[in-house]
Amino acid sequence: MKILVCVTSVPDTTTKISFTDNNTKFNKAGVTYIAGPYDDYALSRAVELKEQFGGTVTVINVGEADTETMIRKCLAIGADDAVRVNAVPTDAYFVAEQIAAVAKEGNYDLILMGRESIDYNGGQVHGIVGEMLGIPSITPVMKLDIENGVAKMYKEIEGGKQTVEAPLPLVLGCQEPIADWKIPNMRGIMTARTKPLRVVEPAANDVLTSVDSYELPAARSSCRMIPAEEAETLIMLLKTEAKVL
Amino acid sequence: MSVLIFAEVADGAIRKSSQEALYYGAKVAEMMGTTATALAIGSANTDALAAAGRFGVTKVLHAADGALNEANSMAYASVIAAAAAHEGAKVIVTAKSTLSDGVMARLSGKMKAALGANVTDLPDLSNGFRVMSSIFTGKAFAVTELKADVKIIAIKKNAIVPVETAALATVEAFAPALNDADFSVKITGQTKASGAISLPEADLVVSAGRGFKGPENWGIVEDLANALGAATACSKPVSDLDWRPHHEHVGQTGVKVSPNLYIACGISGAIQHLAGVNSSKVIVVINKDPEAPFFKAADYGIVGDVFEILPKLTAAVKAL
Ligand SMILES: Cc1cc2nc3c(=O)[nH]c(=O)nc-3n(C[C@H](O)[C@H](O)[C@H](O)COP(=O)(O)OP(=O)(O)OC[C@H]3O[C@@H](n4cnc5c(N)ncnc54)[C@H](O)[C@@H]3O)c2cc1C
């Protein structure tokens, strides 16, 4: 089985978000970048499927050279090789075009990625890649097994889940609990250093959206504390003051 | 040149979350000097579809082919693209949902459309086409220009408060040719918490964390939720421990909610939890630890034991 896992580099989930240049640029100062947590789930499942069926796991990232530490970590977790498309990931369509171009060369059975990136939360890349390759895309996938070339999955829906089946090849947007996050071990870290990481230039340059400026949410006015002995007055306040009941 | 709204159908009628999209689409149409058309896919009751007029759309296209009763993102994207061509629509509006996420991503690829996700307000058409999107899982907003000829807007819950009228829309059958290749994904089963209020659509949410110690203690959470008519939610460790089903888990890696009221009980308020809930209108925090970080993100707080406080709140709600 040949699996391509798309991984995006995003600020760590504990990052305090701020902007510079008159709110037109994200402030990268002091920010730790990680592989998107949803992508991490996708990668972990890919490594498990490789252990089960054999084959290869290739990681792809659209990003500049500074994402290579993150890519090496993906190799340490168990991917065999990696491709970095050397470009700023400007928007979902642009990223999808690069992934589709690499995917076309590789004939992958599965293209896995997170359901969305945790920076722009677009959740579009899987669908656009699926459309560009003319194969189905399914999201958000919480469980994935392969039986005789057919993927058996369940997918989250509002208030429940759906079981879904489809023949390979497929593009999937993944989320937990599709696999447990894997932590690289020493051997993984050592071998990752010499695994192939190919750098390619972007195949196309369509950008459909651009961010003009950013804003932070208005801070909440201070919290009104209600003594525990008078807890029931909360309900009255929610009705008459906050007017939400 | 109308605005097209993808109206999700459930149990034969347009879903509540899509009502906001209908009204939003009608407002955008008004701004653009045109009309709004809704597209309903799958079997639905004609009277229920005509009621879309209450939210400002003048026409509803109904794609009722039996093959479309199963929500299928490839086929749905194809039908929406056909409807957009039929109406000459360059702006497509949807409410964000687990279905529309997959459908709109495909549609963006199919139509080379600029997609604004998690949009929180009406667009700015003064110079180009700009939308405000929630990014960093609710920790910030971006003003984004949609530069392609076709634009898709996926709105977040509470992006707009619909005002209803008594108007009815005309309902027209819409039967585009379907493509076999769109039907290779099969839905083989579905489980849904019956009768429960759907979390992403809920106006009121009661959420509980590890402070409850074990699944056997959820009765008082459900009692309060039932008294309020609220949906129940939980923190990630609670669903990781299988105390509650995964679809109740809110936060960075779970469901993102923006209800009018979010009551957090026995939840510490980790940044990853806050990310999924901080666009709630009013937040109440109940925690025995006065230093719990959640209080900093709350509008109302009670320092106390959830096992004592929740039954009191339930009684107070019942006495309203
Ligand atoms: C990449 C990543 C993604 C994550 N995504 C999410 C996410 O999507 N959602 C999420 O929720 N978490 C997420 N987390 C986990 C998050 O960091 C916290 O660990 C989690 O939110 C804590 O859950 P909790 O508040 O229920 O439990 P705890 O942190 O254990 O807090 C329990 C709280 O209950 C209070 N308490 C205990 N007993 C009582 C009582 N009797 N009465 C009143 N109060 C009581 C305690 O004072 C404490 O504040 C993520 C973490 C990472 C690293």
Size of interface A-B (CB pairs under 8 A): 278
pLDDT, residue B248, reads 93
Contact: B106, A128; criterion CB under 8 Å: yes
**Looking at the predicted structure, is the pLDDT value of residue B16 above 80?**
yes
Query: Please, which pLDDT band fits residue B201 given cuts at 50, 70 and 90?
Result: confident
Query: Please, which pLDDT band fits residue A12 given cuts at 50, 70 and 90?
Result: very high
| Residues of chain B contacting residue A19, judged by C-beta atoms under 8 Å apart | 140
Contacts of residue A204, Cβ cutoff 8 Å, sequence gap at least 6: A94, A97, A98, A101
Give the chain B residue whose CA is nearest to the CA of A134.
Answer: B181
Name which CATH class applies to A2-212: alpha beta
Contact: A173, B201; criterion CB under 8 Å: no
pLDDT, residue B290, reads 96
**Looking at the predicted structure, is the pLDDT value of residue B131 above 90?**
yes
Share in percent of chain B as helix, strand, coil (round to 5): 35, 30, 35
Nearest to B232 by CA among B181, B198, B255: B198
pLDDT, averaged across chain A: 94
The string of pLDDT tens digits covering residues A60-103 is 999 999 999 999 999 999 999 999 999 999 999 999 999 999 99
Contacts of residue B58, Cβ cutoff 8 Å, sequence gap at least 6: B35, B36, B37, B169, B170
Instruction: Answer yes or no: is the C-beta of B272 below 6 A from any ligand 1 atom.
Output: yes
Q: Flag the least confident range among B13-17, B76-80, B266-270.
A: B13-17
> φ, ψ for residue B192 (rounded to 5)?
-140, 135
CB A169 within 8 A of CB A135: yes
Q: What is the crossing angle of helices B98-111 and A92-106, to 10°?
A: 80
pLDDT, residue B194, reads 66
CB A42 within 8 A of CB A66: no
Q: Where are the domains of chain B?
A: 2-183, 204-319
Quick one: average pLDDT of B230-236? 96
A119 touches chain B (CB under 8 A): yes
Domain B204-319 CATH assignment equals 3.40.50.11540: no
pLDDT, residue B294, reads 96
The string of pLDDT tens digits covering residues A21-69 is 999 999 999 999 999 999 999 999 999 999 999 999 999 999 999 999 9
A96 to A68, A128, B11, B69: CA distances (angstroms):
19, 6, 35, 29
pLDDT, residue A241, reads 94
Q: Flag the least confident range among A176-185, B25-34, B291-300.
A: A176-185
Interface of B with A in 198-257 (CB under 8 A): 198-201, 203-204, 228, 240, 246-247, 252-253, 256
Quick one: average pLDDT of B187-201? 82
Rounded CA-CA distance A137/B6 in Å is 19
A132 to A1, A84, A92, A129, B107: CA distances (angstroms):
21, 20, 13, 5, 11
Domain B2-183 CATH assignment equals 3.40.50.300: no
Nearest to B102 by CA among A157, A167, A169, A127: A127
**Looking at the predicted structure, is the pLDDT value of residue B196 above 80?**
no
A93 to A99, A107, B151: CA distances (angstroms):
10, 21, 13
CA atoms within 13 A on the CB side of B188: 11
pLDDT, residue B240, reads 93
Number of other residues whose CB lies within 10 A of the CB of residue A86: 14
A117 touches chain B (CB under 8 A): no
Instruction: Answer yes or no: is the C-beta of B258 below 6 A from any ligand 1 atom.
Output: no
The string of pLDDT tens digits covering residues A152-163 is 999 988 888 899
CB A235 within 8 A of CB B317: yes
pLDDT, residue A160, reads 84
Contact: A238, B284; criterion CB under 8 Å: yes
Rounded CA-CA distance B112/A7 in Å is 23
Domains B2-183 and B204-319 are alike in CATH topology: yes
pLDDT, residue B195, reads 62
